[in-house]
């Protein structure tokens, strides 16, 4: 039997047409152009892809650590998205911070477990996913942030106006 998990995104007429995502009882803002010249706050579609990859990776690592009874106390996954140059594949850079008294072999095992993430397998069909371990907690990357509005303007997508 096929399992279906539906996400519904609707425009909110009370909030200038801002988009709101719904999954079951949960809801969240979706950022980006609102169709009337404003930028709505919230994660844009690329942020949501990155969040999906990070969440799935963390779950996969945590699952394998528990299954193998490894002393993983904390997992942190950061993901950034990069558009490939003309003709090159897009990519996700994924960094894992693993907390706990783990030896090198256990860390290597959990790094491999990150690649078992089902969302990563789906995204990996059309984009590269590069994963690395980092011994310290991640700080915010100081490089320029990707801009969804710039991406919409850059790609010639029929029937989409980036405002």
The CATH number for 126's domain is 3.30.300.20
pLDDT score recorded for residue 27: 92
Work out the average pLDDT over 44-65. Answer: 95
Which pLDDT belongs to residue 154? 52
pTM of the predicted model, to two decimals? 0.78
Residues 52, 97 within the same domain:
yes
Across 5-155, the runs of DSSP E, i.e. the strands, are 8-12, 18-23, 26-30, 32-33, 39-40, 72-82, 90-100, 127-133
Average pLDDT estimate for 73-79: 97
Q: How many domains does the chain have?
A: 2
The answer to whether residues 22 and 66 belong to one domain is: no
DSSP classification of residue 71 = -
Give the per-residue pLDDT at 153: 54
Query: 59 and 110 in one domain?
Result: yes
Q: Model confidence over 84-136: pLDDT tens digits?
A: 888 889 999 999 999 999 999 999 999 999 999 999 999 999 899 999 998 76
Longest dimension (CA), the chain: 54
Specify the pLDDT at position 114: 95
- Residue bearing the bigger pLDDT, 94 or 147: 94
Statement to judge: residues 53 and 111 lie in one domain: yes
For residues 52-62, give the mean pLDDT: 97
Q: What angle do CA 35, 40, 46 make, to 5 degrees?
A: 95
Same domain, 35 and 69: no
**Higher-confidence residue: 33 or 65?**
65
Q: Which of 89, 104, 96 is nearest to 131 (CA)?
A: 96
Same domain, 58 and 120: yes
- Give the chain's mean pLDDT: 84
Beta pairing class for 32-33 and 39-40: antiparallel
Q: Do 52 and 24 have their domain in common? A: no
Q: Same domain, yes or no, for 100 and 74?
A: yes
Q: 160: which 2 tokens?
A: 């989409």
- Which region among 33-37, 48-52, 69-73, 116-120 has the lowest average model confidence (pLDDT)? 33-37
At 148, which helix (H) or strand (E)?
helix 148-154
- Residue range(s) defining the domain that contains residue 38: 1-42
- Count CB neighbours of 5 within 10 A: 6
- How much of the chain, in percent, has pLDDT values that exceed 70? 80
C-alpha 158/C-alpha 156 separation (Å) is 6
* Claim to verify: residue 96 and residue 71 sit in the same structural domain: yes
**29 plus 15 within the same structural domain:** yes
Mean pLDDT of the region 69-93? 93
31 and 107 together in one domain = no
How confident is the model at residue 128, as a pLDDT? 92
């Amino acid at each position: 039997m096929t399992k279906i998990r539906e996400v519904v995104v609707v425009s909110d007429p009370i909030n200038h047409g801002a988009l709101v995502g719904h999954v079951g009882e949960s809801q969240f803002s979706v950022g980006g152009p609102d169709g009337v010249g404003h930028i709505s706050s919230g994660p844009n579609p690329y942020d949501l892809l990155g969040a999906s990859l990070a969440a799935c990776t963390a779950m996969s690592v945590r699952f394998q650590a528990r299954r193998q009874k490894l002393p993983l106390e904390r997992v942190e996954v950061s993901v950034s998205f990069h558009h490939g140059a003309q003709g090159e594949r897009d990519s996700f850079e994924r960094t894992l911070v693993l907390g706990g008294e783990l030896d090198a072999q256990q860390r290597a095992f959990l790094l491999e477990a990150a690649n078992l993430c089902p969302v990563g397998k789906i995204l990996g069909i059309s984009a590269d996913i590069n994963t690395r371990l980092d011994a310290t907690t991640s700080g915010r990357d100081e490089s320029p942030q990707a801009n969804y509005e710039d991406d919409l303007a850059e790609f010639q997508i029929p029937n989409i106006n980036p405002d």
